[in-house]
Structure 1
Amino acid sequence: MRALFALLLLCVGVGLSPLGWAQDSAVSQTPDVRMIFDVSGSMKANDPGNLRASALQLAATLLPSQARGSVWTFGSQVRNPLPDGKVDAQWRRRARSLASQLVDYQQFTDIEGVLRDATDAPGGKRHVVLLTDGMVDLPGSGEEKRTRDTASRETLLTSLAPELASRDVVVHTIALSHNVDRELLERISQATGGLAAVAETPEALLRAFLDVLERIVPSDQLPLEKGRFDVDDEVEGFNALLFHDEDAPEIALVGPDGERYTRDDHPDDMLWQSNPRYDLIRVPEPQVGEWHIEGPVGRDSRVSIESPLQLRSDTLPPTLYLGFDVPIDAWLAREGEVLKGDTLPDDVRLRGALRGLDDETLASTSLQAGDDGHFTGTLAAPEEAGNARLVLNADSDSWQRERVQGVNVVTPVTATLNDDATQVTLEAQHPRLNVDNTQISASLLGETLDVVPDGERTWQVALPEIDPEQSVPLDLDVSVTLDDRTWSIALPALRLNPEARIGVSGADFDSDGPRAEALPDDDTAATQEEESDAREEGNLTALAGALWNKAGDEWQALRPHVEPYAKRPATWAVFAALLLALVLMWRLRRRSRRRHHRRRHEPQV
């Protein structure tokens, strides 16, 4: 065992082995991974705990030793603090030492520049992981800056992304914060075959980073339920990646025989790496039976395994589309050979499922066995956009296998409102859609609008004049004819005048989710606050006037009953106290709102 331990240390240095040993041959051939971290000033607020460093440490631990890796940072300048190199002990140590460089903040966000520099070096298939919290934001001012930003964004979509795809460069994007240009990141990932992940909070960053890593280096897993998992006699080793809160109590791992292992008390051949937000434990030659974990086991924890019995599938797509079913083809293999006929266990069962990030099952199906050993089935079309996970599960009476892959669910057609709000551009995102097989209808407040083709995959909708004080939804429906089948898809409504005072019923978001908007500066925020206060005072005055008039109408009828009480001093004291309380509550609310708006935001200049 000590010889094995020495060999493991030689392979992975101070860190641990990769997340899983049994990888698909298509992705296990020396992956080249280039990690790009946004260091623009807004990251101070969106990642105050520098969880980017924890994500980088996780990647340094999980990347296989035969991989190549590099680390890049960008704001107004592009830097390469860890150049391309083989992932070995020295590379891992250098990656773990970069935490301080991830908080060396700069102005601006040059996404095009960093993608060009990080992918410039020649090579085979490359995986780029781009983490950002903003949008294209180049130096300059006024109209010149807006023109430069727009041109760079357009270049990314129409020129650079297709070029990267032709060079076998896969770009995985991680969007952090609500201010991110999510549509841009999604379209870059779709064009290059990568995953577009979203981390709504800094705490979700590790989950998003892990979803991307598992796209690059997939692995078989054992189902982990309520801190328990079953190890069968074909499992040669497992990695338990256990997430937890920063101040969580110490975790213990308990074997089938009841023996308890901790970070400070475990055998030499068991490797245990502890981080404030996760523990990673490698156990070679584990005992057969049920293992369990004592202590908090956070969501997204998992147990990956090494085993000659493997669950395999065709490449699971990183992007799914609303309204489109998901075909699945999976099989079991032992040491690379597909199990079929007599080699396939009689009691084996395979299932496919789509789960939300909260582990809720959104769709599921049983896979049917064919004579060639492949199991096939179709998942029902997803109904909600956002990140999710495709899960394959195989089990028999004596073993279980699971494979999990992150996916991004998007609309098959995007809708974009032009600057003067007179026209909407619709563009097909699903690769098979075009103006010949796709019909789109649009309606506004019950009025049908003309949808005019404008190219092979785009349409235009001219909008009538709309009251700027009224927020209304533009309803969009898509009819698709493919493979001798026709079906309809209702797109999320596009909200027109979303900031208007009066809202008309309908979905309160556009077709791609929230639009990226620049953060207001202090002067703008103060002006907005004054305008808001003025509106609020006007509303209160109008409300008070309406109530006074209503009270006058009712007074004559109630006067004989109320007049005796009005002569009592206690009645007027109670009335005065209530009025004073209302005034104080209003003043406190104004002060609270002003404090909120005066918080300093890092500028997106």
Structure 2
Amino acid sequence: MHLKNKWTLCLLAGVLLLVSWCGFLPAVSAAGQPSSQIDAVLVMDASNSMKASDPNRISGEAMKMFIDMLSAQGDKVGIVSYTDKIQREKALLEIQSAADKEDLKQFIDQLDRGAYTDISVGVDEAVKVLKQGMDKSHEPMIVVLADGNNELDPKSGKTEQQADQQLSAAVQEAKQAGIPIYTIGLNADGKLNKAALADLASQTGAKSFSTSSADDLPQILSEIFASHQKLKIVPVQSITANGSYQEVTISVPNANVLEANISMMSGSPVDVKLTDPAGTAQTIPSANVLSSKSKTYSLIKLLKPKQGDWKLQVKGVPKDKIDINLVFNYDLDLTMDPLPSKSVKPGDTIEIKSYLVSSGQKLQDQALYGSMAAKLLVKDLDTGKTEEVKLTNQGDHFEGSYKITDKHQYELKVRAEDQSFYRETQPVTVSAKPAAAGTGAGTAASGASKDKPFPTMLVVIGVIALLIIAAAAYFILNAVKKANRGFVGQMVIEIRDENTGEKTYPQYKKLTSFRGKFNLHQLLQLAPELKETDKIMFTPGKNDRLVLKNASPCTIERSGRVLDASAGVELKSGDRLSVSLQQIDKTIQFEYLV
């Protein structure tokens, strides 16, 4: 940048700074609709106690079915498997093809079990994985499959109190980030800590499920998927297989269905045929008909299916019960007209008008409206009570009114639903509380003005002050720019115990969520025993490189040679380093990949 441009930028920054001090910059805000894309982390208890609860590994099958129900493109999924430590994890992977889903499902099939269990480790890591890789325009979620009980390794030195504190901190972090944590408890041995799992879910605004049979897990995961997407599971029917093809009608209710997920849960895989509403046989799989199978379920995903009755023919093993369910995903949102004022008083009537939108456009589909009902949900924020007011369906919108009764604050939102989905508007808060009274009026000075000389000195001082502010702004802008530089790529980390020779599974840590700098301790989940790595710093370099600076007593090696990184060294993609810790007998190995 030329010097002239730099000073122009500085002066502009100085002026903006002065204007903002004077309070002249208007506030800008925008309300967005919820996204239909999901960023999910699936968390699995991999302790040996799960062998009794889930001997056939149905939990893995359920997780795979959840992955298959996600959109064909755009959703992100990460996986965390834990005992009393992280067994294996997979960073958020954006699904772009069927191969990506297969990659995730194969990862689940390869998960091992361990001796101990500590749910705080799994939840804490899931929150970190999600926050590091989630898209701000997506809907985040965590699904935890566990029994809610801890069995800590006595040799670790970690206490139940410390585990509870770690879990509480992770839940609060998730709550602040708007991440719901759904929990599923397996109670095969009667030792399920149902209350703990329910509390974990309720604190983050999610749902908790429990079952004594692992066979229920696919259905539960379907319910979680539907609930998070504001959808409903539509039961089609259950059939008992007879070895021949049996026909079932699949009704696609309208043209706004983005995806129709047809799940068939059975003891054995099934064979299917499909015919569209025009009577044309569909090739399975094909561009608009996706198919996936596993040991306990088969799933057909129709992309932008035609409205009408589809014919599904199912052939299963004789006498095998087949449960068939539908979950539709819609390109629909619900919005509410802005209120004239958010300041009201008792006796005022608030007029409500709400309507469906698709791709940002108001929907005019009277057939779709005809099957829907809507209500206004009014929550009194002072008492916590919620009141429901039925709205009138006018064919292309919903309308109604609500009369304010008390000097309280209220939260208003509209919920509209039909048999297969529901939508809610963004909540709006209005207040009927008296505003603080303003006091005093400006006083005008009186008296005759006298001619005064031009205030040259004041102008000079003002110009000097402006130049000082501009110079300060220049340095501030440079500092902010440097502090906000982003990272690319990921770090693959393994930890080796030098006493036993055991090595952890590789952990893949995305770096894109960091800005300006980060330390190795952050990548190691801030584990207390690895605290000495907090002075091993990374900053962005040129051409997608990293700059490593070591201010710790740890020894760092690259290609078998000790690396002096006290003044900073540059790392390129593929560089593999090892860090020998001084306080414990462990070595951290990491590789930078772009």
Give the TM-score normalised by structure 1. Answer: 0.46
